[in-house]
Amino acid sequence: MTWFASSRKRKGPASSAVSTAWTMPTSTGHFPEFRVDFQSVSKRFARRWILKDFTYTFRSGTTYGIKGRNGSGKSTLLRLLCGQLTPSRGAISYHRDESPLKVDEAYRMVSWSGPYLELVEELPIEEFFQFHFNIKPPLPGIKIGEIPQLIELEPYRRRKIMDCSSGMRQRVLLASALYANTPVLMLDEPTVTLDREAVEWFHEQLNRYGSGRLVVIASNEDDDLRSCDEIITMKSAN
């Protein structure tokens, strides 16, 4: 049987605001109540069980941390949560304002960031955001043209993504999820490739724009989980 250790954490104080010469938007709009119920969920790839008998409820207004060794199933749990994967056993149900949702309906309400996600390499940063947020509109108060400044990449707004450093690319990925107007936010290894200054930028943005959403962060880094209300520790399923 899979073991999970769940603990409560109090949110620490918000990081100090990033110094800017302009007023940072604060409106995040009203998010619907969103709930995901796992009932005795197990997931197997070939003969290996990644997840076994997992029962849990994820709710809006809560930030969840998922931690564990590489290969422990953190990313698998994220993909099950958003409907990218179906369970081998058990059931996952989705609810918006207490009304049941189909998996494809729930998936459209999720914004996602992970190191394995691809960006449109040929586009400059500013054009990528125009393309991305035309498909998934931004939060109220977020102006697409101001996002390069919001992520502290204003001098590089016309640089093609293929020419960006790994840290710059990660900021672009995070922005595409954080600033999308969705009730669910899933962040897999959010600070990978970020330097210390950029890590603090991420936490400041998460505190500002994660409020009221169902947020799930998967990471091996304890510091990534500093703002989490609940932490799930993944252990061997075999």
Q: What is the pLDDT of residue 91?
A: 98
Q: Evaluate whether 67 touches 79 at the Cβ level (below 8 Å).
A: no
Kindly list the averaged pLDDT for each block of 10 residues, start to end, along the chain of length 238.
Answer: 47 37 50 96 93 96 93 91 95 96 94 91 97 95 96 97 97 98 96 95 96 96 94 81
Structure tokens at 231: 């932490």
Report the run of H or E that residue 54 belongs to, with start and end. strand 48-59
What pLDDT, on a 0 to 100 scale, did the predictor assign at position 39?
Answer: 98
Q: What is the pTM of this model?
A: 0.86
Domains of the chain: 31-234 (3.40.50.300)
Burial 18-28 (b: 16+ CB within 10 A, else e): eeeeeeebeeb
Q: Give long-range contacts, CB 8 A cutoff, 24+ apart: 167-172.
A: 167/193, 167/194, 167/195, 167/198, 168/125, 169/119, 169/193, 170/115, 170/194, 170/198, 171/198, 171/201, 172/119, 172/125, 172/128, 172/129
